[in-house]
Homo-oligomer: A and B are copies of this chain.
């Protein structure tokens, strides 16, 4: 049941104008032996009511648990106004704004986005989005390699505390360009990179250092030291940060003596629903000097013939449609609509609202930690400052038992909880550890009920 307006009379008239008898004739340049009939694995089309009934049932069956998982995607409240506006047809059904004069809505919103996210990172400028946080980090690595003319090496350091899937994505995306990724180990008490770990690279030429904040485990890295270390070595520093955290923590533009060179991350916390992992958006901000190395779209402000301000896609000479094989990236379609959502999110919360939301996340995470810490059999894995997530160890569980934590998770799910992320998903040997997260929506009542359920379920083990 396709969306086709043509009446039979229209078709007849149109064929007559073209000068063919049937629409089939329009396909006469296609070699006959290649043509197929319609049979295949797509079912027949169905009316809207039937598809809607089926999909609503499927969606409802994904019953949403009270969620204590973070690990790269965070369960924040999104003001209703955000998506009421984002889904307006004029935003939702426009293309990449090639014709600037007919796309000022999209372009100005992107310019405002660039301003907001650059401000949040305390960096000079931003692009108009990349696919997601992980791929944005890969682009940042490629960009750093292009930009770093001081050192000849293509070695990039990434700490063990960086999200392991992000590390894999970076590997996937940069490996064909001769870049060598090396891992900086973390210490086992604080779960962060210590100067001693950096010292292992003292004799190597390093092109760039990636610095996560907070890191995968929720722990805060000593970002000033790391940034200054990179600078001293002639390496570029790349921050990979949670933007919500940056409303509370020192932003990358102010790390160390001079700030990082590139700051990127996952934009999802800024108004994007969890939605099984996407669409989210990656952001990438940088120092002014690097502007011509930035990948992706960038919007700039300019004027028209009468001196009126307006907005255009700019610096396009970096991009694939102009520079082709020598472009800064192959990206074309990005995650535009998601940045519209983020712009609205940041606007509605404002500086105070965003700051207080970050504080509230932190306060609730502290409460969560205190509440689970007193549950028998639970201990807190790392010492030191953290932001809105942390790891617990289930001491009572046999560290060789592959099934214990998954079983616990299933039982917690039956009680309505997504009870954190079992670390064994990424670190098979860490069978007793769970990464827990709280945001502003996890108030004391919710947390206490969760801790109580955890206590009961652990007692049954």
Contact = CB atoms under 8 A, between A and B. Distances in A.
A29 interface: no
A80 B48 contact: yes
Task: Give 5 nearest A-B pairs by CB, closest first.
Answer: A49-B77, A49-B441, A48-B79, A49-B440, A52-B77
Contacts of A88: 88
A425 interface: no
Interface residues of A, number: 15
12 contacts: A48-B77, A48-B79, A48-B80, A49-B77, A49-B440, A49-B441, A52-B77, A52-B80, A53-B441, A84-B87, A84-B89, A88-B88
A48 B440 CA distance: 12
Given A48-B77, A48-B80, A88-B88, 11 more contacts: A48-B79, A49-B77, A49-B440, A49-B441, A50-B443, A52-B77, A52-B80, A53-B77, A53-B441, A84-B87, A84-B89
Contacts of A50: 443
A77 B49 CA distance: 6
Contacts of A77: 48-49, 52-53
Interface string A35-64: 000000000000011101100000000000
Contacts of A441: 49, 53
A443 B84 CA distance: 33
Nearest to A439: B49
A49 B441 CA distance: 7
Interface string A72-95: 000001011000100111000000
Contacts of A440: 49
A440 B440 CA distance: 44
A50 B50 CA distance: 35
A49 B361 CA distance: 13
A337 to B, nearest CB: 15
